[in-house]
Structure 1
């Protein structure tokens, strides 16, 4: 059943996998968003274009005693609408969000919830911290009760690959499945890996990421990094701003249906855009108190993505940056962008201040934003900065505008040196060919 309670509309029969050239094109035909901005791609788009802040006091646990007490939570989320109780008791909220985002993406793509040809479908998601809330509950049970036991599902619910495993079982994805671990950068790496999987002969790949780092343990780990803001204001997350004080945590993310172009055309699918290029590098340096990341390696990831997409930097309509909101990291990111684009950078737009930072789920959410921007023929204005921090002078998009080339560069960094970039080419307006 679809989330609305109606039977999912199956698409035409899946084209059996066949030998495909290494240059096979991979396009996005379905978007599923479950984020603080709302449930569903349309709701997400309306929230960010209206500039509505969805950050507030944490309610998933009592955060009264923590210096950071604000974050982004998915509003009115009922996991029972997306999975049966048997699956829910075995899994963490992070996986519940993945259940929902995947069902929404499949419905949006016009595909059935059960793969008609299981070995032609695969799932590749990103993960970083795993099932925090489930693990927290079971560890408290272990150390606070006389029985000194944990539930039978502790061994799998917290595991970083739990969501991929559960989705492959639930939807019968039996193609080459996997999980990418690169903290926030993984949300982009999962889509890059989906393209590689398509080029190796699997016509349908579910990719993306969700996250739920909102538990006492997870918040304590993030506080230990020194990167969270302790400002008691829902607008405290201010990337590239002179008042930047760190990020605010968030849950959620986005999941996509990535298809081989010919497969999508054969079934008459709507196409949002193409994953045209990607790049990934590593700093080989621990994220410490005095290090904001290596702009040289970060810029190299961007150039790799542009080169693979055969896109000139001048063609880029929009950059969606990592936007950590920590001064030294923002400065390093601005330097990397200037190294790639010179003195005339393309418009830069970020919306993480509205939702909080959902780690790999936040990077996937930026991909959804870019694809929806092309679908709506509108580049969304950036949320801030109000006063640009010294050294972070970029071309922040202050008003919505129409795209020219329909090309976006999405960037993300993970703690301890991961850098990733993804080039998206939006589908042309209706009536125009690729």
Structure 2
């Protein structure tokens, strides 16, 4: 990629850093190794005792120690969800070759997605209020649970004082954050931290998710989450996600940054209807995909791979397959999902799909899908059964948020990095 215009300012937004903190591992390399090995990382929930709940399987970040990523004075003010965000952001900045403190604070912004907020922190404080003798909560209860807490804490810690914000659209929000980052760059801010992390594994959060009727109650982690499969019975909740350094193209080129790819198109629509386990509608979801492709200037035939929402609820899986067929005709592009390996991390999960897409282009390999083994009726798509080399270096990432949110994002990968002799 090269900048357009003689002044080096293009208004184009590229990704120069990827930070992953997910059940698939800590760091982009660990995530990619899990994806290509198709190694399942879901298992019994350990962050609390889920014995009294029908859902007892989840996706947790292995070996995560918050003290390695967050200074003590911020550790006590924040939730695990924010701790994951701190780690992913530090990894993304290091990957991009940028300092942790901005040399030009107003040239850096933070725009992340959120949904359930700091529920583990809130759970602990409310239990102390109602179950302890002090009948009090800590001073940070008023901010640690708040859905914008991660954005606020990251902007303070890193001194990123450009336009900051939080996107709330459940799983769709992870893609919305990247779209908002592009808008922010086009308005003159050269560097934006975007993406999302999530931690929905607490008694309160699990109870809220169970109310939807969309969670799997299968106790075997190997069979609990099977999107598009005849045995699909719901999703498995997960924590973690991915954070990106999104940068104006001219700014990235001028400092010699490695570029993973460009965000070229996006669109968001709404169903204007609540999410139900027994019914789903695909018209507005398909419209988001059409608009994203159109805005990206991409013909449907150029799409190498689709990373779908993959909810794992039969009616919603069929609706998603219908949406893809309405956009791409009878021969949709290959479809690949890694969510059965990690669980569904809400907005963090869609951000993780973007990370997978960009890493696929960096490694010149489209990863095989982690299922289905036996596609359900109406879900007979071209699921990638083996790794494949991309042709056009274009991916469509799609996500649906509870109660009607739909977002689609198009990313175009940069040329793959030359392999080192040891990798050849």
Which ranges in structure 1 are unaligned for 5 or more consecutive residues?
1-18
Q: Paired residue for 1:291? A: 279
Which of residues 291, 304, 325 in structure 2 aligns to 1:317?
304
User: What is residue 281 of structure 1 aligned with on the other side?
Assistant: 269
Shift of 1:326: 0.3
- The alignment's TM-score, normalised by the length of structure 1, stands at 0.93
Work out whether 1:212 is the aligned partner of 2:199: yes
Q: 1:377 aligns with which of 339, 351, 364?
A: 364
- SS of the residue 1:408 aligns to: strand
CA contact (8 A) 2:112 2:166 kept: yes
What does residue range 158-177 of structure 1 map to in structure 2 within 5 Å? 158-177=145-164
Distance (whole Å) between structure 1 residues aligned to residue 18 and residue 115 of structure 2: 21
Is the CA contact 2:277–2:313 (under 8 Å) kept in the aligned structure 1? no
Normalising to structure 2: TM-score of the pair? 0.96
Q: Distance in 1 between matches of 2:244 and 2:158?
A: 14
Q: Secondary structure at the match of 2:268?
A: strand
Shift of 1:20: 9.5
Instruction: Tell me how large the CA RMSD over aligned residues is.
Output: 1.1
Task: Indicate the residue corresponding to 2:230 in structure 1.
Answer: 242
C-alpha separation between the residues in 1 aligned to 2:60 and 2:19? 17
Of 254, 265, 270, 1:266 maps to 254
Structure 1 residues 54-75: Cα deviation after superposition (integer angstroms, max 9, x where no partner): 0011110001111111100000
1:154 match: 141
Deviations 1:136-171 (A, max 9, x none): 000111111232110000000000000000000000
Counterpart position of 1:181 = 168
CA contact (8 A) 1:373 1:380 kept: yes
2:421 maps to which residue?
Answer: none
For 1:5, the equivalent position in structure 2 comes to none
Structure 2 match to 1:408: 395
Correspondence for 1:99 among 61, 72, 86: 86
Cα deviation code 1:274-295 (max 9, x no counterpart): 0010010000001124322x21
Contact 1:53/1:354, CA 8 A, preserved across alignment? yes
Q: Distance in 2 between matches of 1:78 and 1:253?
A: 16
Question: 2:14·2:260 contact (CA, 8 Å) conserved in 1?
Answer: yes
Listed as ranges, the matches of 1:38-49 within 5 Å are 38-49=25-36
**Which digits, 9 at most, give the CA deviation of each residue in 1:92-139, with x for residues without a partner?**
000000000000000000000000000000000000000010000001
Q: CA deviation at 1:177?
A: 0.3
Q: Give the paired residue count.
A: 411
Aligned mates of 1:147, 1:375 — CA distance in 2: 54
Which residue in the other structure is 1:7 paired with? none
Contact 1:20 1:199 in 2 (8 A): no
Superposed counterparts of 1:55-66, under 5 Å: 55-66=42-53
Q: Which residue is equivalent to 2:3?
A: none
Looking at structure 2, the residues matched to 20 and 376 of structure 1 have their Cα atoms a distance apart, in angstroms, of 28
Partner residue, 1:343: 330
